[in-house]
Copies of this chain bind each other. A is one copy, B any other.
């Protein structure tokens, strides 16, 4: 389903996170919060009425937040003792919890695929690149293991954010309500029970901001690499099913990586707005709270979209070891210059080795001849110049990385 307003958000439109964050889902969460409050107040009949009251509801605005008009549409007695913020904060935590479940599943699946890729390509040599230039050989397995490591980090950070219910009444003192009611409410709505009402202690929002920005950044690293490796001139990987072009029939674009990259570019600024809203004056700030709602939803969508695309991207990724080997040869041995220098240094000392190699490197680059040829006089064997035989500890590092398990998130920690 493509929810409304997704026309300019191809990174998330049509994903499950889209549906979980669209207005109807927010409205349902608002009603879920109101109904849970009624249940916590031992009014099951009222709770039922609230649930059904939502059917004909149309979002409206007055008073500056979406709860005030909603309350007008609820049966009498609903919302008793609560304030708008109690209901909206709780509803947004529900929306976050439901969207998080989707994101975590996509991250787990992505980690699984990356584990298989890392295992399969544990020893597949490819050029390591630094500052756009071939540096030393690495392996695709190590790259995939690194990606997986970031995905596990994202999974952990997102899974461990505490998403509490909010109940504090008009000024956070619970006024006509009570601490036990606050705890019952949390239980009924299926969220963590807060120690204190957090209407102006915005830890949950800030933690979500950080975790979601992290998630987009982690997947953004994968996308950044795929975009480089997919370049026409590089060709070491390709997306399983590239995107078409309206003007160029032959093109097969790395569309998923592009969309993930777009998510990674948008997320940090939205997180910044949310961190900025922590400095919330009084018992309800005039602006800082209101500035949270859209950036939070946008972040959930971006992380949700990025995770869904990452799952597909890694699932369908075509890896081309032959092309990697071709590229390894592009510099005629310069990519293992470091090893050549180390070998030389044993016989002629570090300083002389460095000088000799720098000259030969320049010569080789200028005349586009292999380094080995430019250094013929040095008397080193061909193995020293073989770019596929210098993996360092890549294989061992892959093994270390894969020893780290995906932490299972017990269902009890993740509310509905």
Contact = CB atoms under 8 A, between A and B. Distances in A.
Interface in A344-366: 350-351, 354, 357-358, 361-362, 364-365
Contacts of A380: none
B297 A228 contact: no
Interface residues of A, number: 175
A65 B196 contact: no
A415 interface: no
A282 interface: yes
Chain A binding surface, main DSSP class: mixed
A37 interface: no
Contact of A392 (B175, B269, B293): B175
A274 B4 CA distance: 23
Interface string A228-255: 1011111000000001111111111111
A249 B132 contact: no
A327 B197 CA distance: 24
A8 B30 CA distance: 12
B2 A247 contact: no
Contacts of A259: 64, 287, 290
Interface stretch (A45-53, A99-107, A109-117, A330-338): A330-338
Given A196-B400, A249-B341, A271-B272, 9 more contacts: A64-B253, A67-B246, A135-B284, A228-B231, A248-B337, A258-B286, A259-B290, A266-B273, A266-B295
